[in-house]
Amino acid sequence: MKEYLIFLAQTHTGFRKAELESLADLHNIKVDLSNHTEDHPFMVVKLRSDEDACKLIDRAILAKGIYELWGHGNTIEEMHQDVKNNMHNLREPFMHSSFKFENLNFQGGKKSREQQLKLFEGFKYLEFNGKIKMKNPDQIFAILENYKLGEDLYALDKPEHVWFGREVKLSARSEGAVERYDIKKRPYFGTTSFDAELALFTCNIGQVLPGELIYDPFVGTGSFLVAAAEFGGITIGSDIEFLTLKGKEPNRRLKNNFDYYKRPKQFCDALCMDFTNNAFRTNLKFGAIICDPPYGVREGVKVCGTTKDKEGRENVIIDGQLAFLRRDYIQPKKTYSLDLLLDDLLEFSSQRLEVGSRLCFWMPVANDEDIPTLIPQHKELELIYELVQDFNKWSRRLLVYVKRGADYRGKTITSEERENSNNFRDRYFTKFSKLNINENTI
C-alpha cells in the first residue's frame, strides 16, 4: 500500500466522505477514510496503486486531485527532510521524465514569481535529469500548503503544514465539470432547476454507471439526468407537469440540454406521467433512481386522479374519439401529501431497482423546533446515508438507500408513523414566512 494525499474541495464538506466512499465501493477499491475531517481540505489515504487512485478521484466533484505523497512536515524544512528520507524509493521511475513544479495552498495568499522560484529551487537535491516543461509535462510535482487565519482573518506568514507529492490525477471538478454544468449556461432551465454541483455529486453517491438506465420520476428541467449522462448513464425521466416537459420554445426543451452537452444518445425520453400510476413494463429495472421530489412550496404535491365524482368520464367523445385517448388529453390531478409520495417512491424503488443499486432523493426538514424527524424506511431498502444541507431554520437531507437481496429484512416506517413529525409545507408558510429564503434553492 502506498500513501496518497487527497486535496478536497472546501464546499459541501458533509458530503465529501460519502462521495469518496461511494466511488471506492463502485470501483471495488479498499481505502480507509476514517481520518477525514470536515474542517480540513487535505486527507492522507493508503491505496494499492496509482490505478486505484485514478479511479477514486477521476469523477469526484468534492475533491480536487490526488497526489502520491513523497513527504510532509509542519515546516518547509521538515517537509524537505521527509522527502529526502523517502525519495530513493520513489524518484527512480521519473528521473528522465519531463516535469514541472506547482504550488497549491488553502487559505494562503498567492506567492510572487520570485517566491515560487525560491520554493521550487529548494528541491534541487532530487536531481531529475528530465527537461522542465511548463505545458503538458510527463509529471507534475506539487507543494501543497495549509494556512491558518489570524485574528484579522488574513493568512499567517507560515503554513501550518506542508506536503510534497506527484500529481496522479485531477478530478472532474478540477477539469471544470461544475462550471460546465452551470444551469444558467443550458438552453433549458427553470427557477427550480437543481444546482449542478449538488446534482453531480448526488449521481456519484448514487453510483451511476456507464450504460445503466437511470430514472428521475420528477424530472422537471432534467438536472439529475444531465448529471447522470456526464457519468455515462442512459437516462429516462417523467413528470406530471406537461408544460414543464414541453418547454417554452422548440429549442428550449429538456432534450436540448443533452444536445448542448453533446450527449443526445444518453437521453431516452421524458414521459408525461405520474410515476405512482406509471406506464413502464412490470419487469423494467433501473441501475439507479435519483430525484428531488416536489416539496409542495409553490403548489401542493399532485398525482393523477380526482376527488370529484367523474363517473362516466371514460365515455366522453371528442371528434369521434375517446377523450382520454387523444394526444392533447391532459389528465386530471389531485392534491397529495409529500409523506405518501415518499412511501410510494420507496415501494416503487424496491420493485424497480437492481439488487445493489441505489435510490437517492432529497427530503426537506423543518428544524426550527425540537421535533424528531422520522426518515422513511422500507423493509427491502437499507438506508446507508442521511446527509444534511442546512439552511438555518430548515434543511434538506440527501437520503441514500441500497436495494438488498431476498435475505434482507429491514424496518419499515410508513407515513402514518411519521405523521406530524415533519409537515414541511405547513411549517414553511407559518414559521418561515418572515425569513428571507431564496426559493431557487427549494
Of the candidates 434, 293, 424, the one whose C-alpha atom is nearest the C-alpha of residue 367 is 424
Q: Which domains does the chain have, with CATH numbers?
A: 2-175 (3.30.2130.30), 178-305+333-431 (3.40.50.150), 306-332 (no CATH)
322/194: higher pLDDT: 194
Tens-place pLDDT, residues 332-351: 778 888 888 899 999 999 99
Residue 154 has pLDDT above 50, yes or no: yes
Q: What is the pLDDT of residue 353?
A: 96
240/22: higher pLDDT: 22
Q: What is the pLDDT of residue 426?
A: 54
346/111: higher pLDDT: 346
Q: What is the pLDDT of residue 12?
A: 95
Q: Find the mean pLDDT for residues 188-198.
A: 90
Band of pLDDT at residue 25, cut at 50, 70 and 90: very high
- Window from 200-214, 249-263, 282-296, 356-370 with minimum mean pLDDT: 356-370
CB 4 within 8 A of CB 67: yes
How deeply is 315 buried, as exposed, middle or buried, from its count of CB atoms within 10 A (0-12, 13-18, 19+)?
Answer: exposed
What's the CA gap between 428 and 433, in Å, rounded? 7
Residue 296 has pLDDT above 50, yes or no: yes
Band of pLDDT at residue 307, cut at 50, 70 and 90: low
Residue 436 has pLDDT above 50, yes or no: no
Q: What is the pLDDT of residue 146?
A: 94
Q: What is the pLDDT of residue 271?
A: 92
Residue 432 has pLDDT above 60, yes or no: no
Q: Find the mean pLDDT for residues 397-423.
A: 78
Band of pLDDT at residue 226, cut at 50, 70 and 90: very high
Tens-place pLDDT, residues 364-408: 876 655 445 678 899 999 999 999 988 777 778 999 999 998 888
Band of pLDDT at residue 363, cut at 50, 70 and 90: confident
Q: What is the pLDDT of residue 310?
A: 54
Q: Find the mean pLDDT for residues 238-245.
A: 86
Q: What global pTM score does this model have?
A: 0.88
Q: What is the pLDDT of residue 318?
A: 80
Band of pLDDT at residue 300, cut at 50, 70 and 90: low
Band of pLDDT at residue 210, cut at 50, 70 and 90: very high
Band of pLDDT at residue 127, cut at 50, 70 and 90: very high
The percentage of residues in the chain with a pLDDT greater than 90, rounded to a whole number, is 64
What's the CA gap between 400 and 393, in Å, rounded? 23
